Structure 1
Amino acid sequence: MKTLRVALDGPAGAGKSTVAKLVAKSLGLTYVDTGAMYRAITWKALQEQINPADEAALTAISSRVQIDFKLTSEGQDVFLDGVDITEEIRARDVTANVSAVSAVPGVRASLVKLQQEIANKMGVVMDGRDIGTVVLPDADVKIWLTASVEERARRRYEEMTAKGHQLDFEQLKRDIERRDELDSGREHSPMKRADDAVIVDTSGLGIEAVVEKILHICRSAEAQNF
């Protein structure tokens, strides 16, 4: 399993990060949260009051900052230029702007290069929107993780309110629908299911059941290919 590369794609709120962390831990692989990378660039842009439509400035940020991850007992912390921004990148203003930032070709080029470099060094479980189609088109396992908008909104609502954030559920649903449209409709590296990806619908399923499904797929792929 040490060299297995797993691409886990799907829309916002489908549970990719949670599932990917558990799958990676079970298989002894490195978890790479590509969405956190784009959120980090978005957070930096907002801090510097850069317009999310300013592609040149966003590209410049992505080429000069250093993004690092630190594995913890609870998951993964995100650092930008040595500063822990794990909580900050989940703020609503970051969520509202990350799709626009991640659509910038220069930003994607910088981060895709970094993601591919990581996957070339070690076995990974990498989650995002375009991993199986753009970042790792030759991944050993490709999973498309999805769920209904209602289910995804409920999960995000419970996650954020548990952390003390006050949210309007209906507005959250609209935000998720809007992000789906932006992610799938962008010109460069749109969110798209790879033709050879296995669809896993998590609606009505607990985390353990979803993880077991994916582990079974990964182990079957290992048996066939290694």
Structure 2
Amino acid sequence: MVFRVPATRVVKSLNSQILSIDGPAGSGKTTVTKCLAEKIQGASISSGLVYRVLAFICNEDSELAETIHNVNDFKSAIECLGFKFRNGCTIKNSKNQDITEIFYTKTIDRISSRIAKKKENRLIVSGFLAFFVKESWAKNFDTIIIEGRDIGSVVFPDAKWKIYLDASVEARVLRRNQERDGAGDDISKRDRSDKDRKNSPLVVPSGALIIDSTSLNLKEVIALILEHIHE
């Protein structure tokens, strides 16, 4: 059966378990998501990594990419390649080897940014996130952490907790360059692209707690989020 229903409708009854973390590139969303998930033993996923997987398929296997028209096709393509999401922000191959690094290249950066502008691709990724939420719920996770740029504003606008993680451009450039040499060079350009795109632009979600992590360390950011969750 072809999945055509927006993710927010599919999992509306599960919104009470979702914590969304949105913010611009380099704000620390993925690192915070990983650490927070470990801290509270929650399920987690990076929507950016899902886009990167789609971008990787488009770049490496054009024939397979042409078969992807909806979320079910995308799931089938992932299975065909033997990719498996682990701990939300990690991908392993059929040999259980961590291959996450291959999705973080400048080429994939450019392609994922481009395909994220198209509505049909955003629907595919949103649908994949909906399946992830349902699977996590079935595995009895109390909290499901999802990070991206439109999670609390578009994909799951009724999420119980919403975080908008920000930082100065200078801090974000430095962080990205520490992760990958030269990766922060396009931060300002990416900011403009994310905020000005027609479909699901980057905004502060309604009701979100805004955290400026410019002068905060990871432990301090996690503490602020935990305090917000337990209010």
TM-score by length of 1: 0.80
Alignment match, 2:121: 107
1:38 aligns with 2:54: no
CA deviation vs aligned residue, 1:45-84 (integer Å, no higher than 9, x gap): 122369xxxxx9495486342263123xxx8422578886
Per the alignment, in what secondary structure is the counterpart of residue 206 of structure 2?
Answer: coil
Aligned residue pair count: 201
Alignment match, 2:3: none
RMSD over aligned CA atoms reads 2.5
Rounded Cα–Cα distance in structure 1 between residues aligned with 2:174 and 2:126: 30
1:22 aligns with 2:43: no
Alignment match, 1:151: 171
Alignment match, 1:68: 84
- For structure 1, the 5+ residue unaligned runs are 51-55, 162-166, 221-226
Per the alignment, in what secondary structure is the counterpart of residue 14 of structure 1?
Answer: coil
Amino acid at match of 2:91: V
Rounded Cα–Cα distance in structure 2 between residues aligned with 1:26 and 1:4: 16
Alignment match, 1:184: 195
2:30–2:89 contact (8 Å) kept in structure 1: no
TM-score by length of 2: 0.78
Alignment match, 2:100: 86
1:45–1:61 contact (8 Å) kept in structure 2: no
1:15 Cα deviation (Å)? Answer: 0.2
Change beyond 3 A, Cα 1:12–1:116? same
Per the alignment, in what secondary structure is the counterpart of residue 188 of structure 1?
Answer: coil
Q: Which stretch shows the higher mean deviation, 83-92 or 180-189?
A: 83-92
2:194–2:202 contact (8 Å) kept in structure 1: yes
CA deviation vs aligned residue, 1:128-172 (integer Å, no higher than 9, x gap): 0000011111111000000011100101111114xxxxx3x8xx3
Q: Which stretch shows the higher mean deviation, 12-21 or 181-190?
A: 181-190
Change beyond 3 A, Cα 1:137–1:81? farther
Alignment match, 1:216: 227
- Could you tell me which of 210, 214, 223 is aligned with 1:199? 210
1:13–1:155 contact (8 Å) kept in structure 2: yes
- For structure 2, the 5+ residue unaligned runs are 1-15, 138-142
1:29–1:125 contact (8 Å) kept in structure 2: yes
Rounded Cα–Cα distance in structure 1 between residues aligned with 2:198 and 2:94: 29
Per the alignment, in what secondary structure is the counterpart of residue 191 of structure 1?
Answer: coil
Identity of aligned residues (%): 29
Rounded Cα–Cα distance in structure 1 between residues aligned with 2:99 and 2:117: 22
Per the alignment, in what secondary structure is the counterpart of residue 145 of structure 1?
Answer: strand
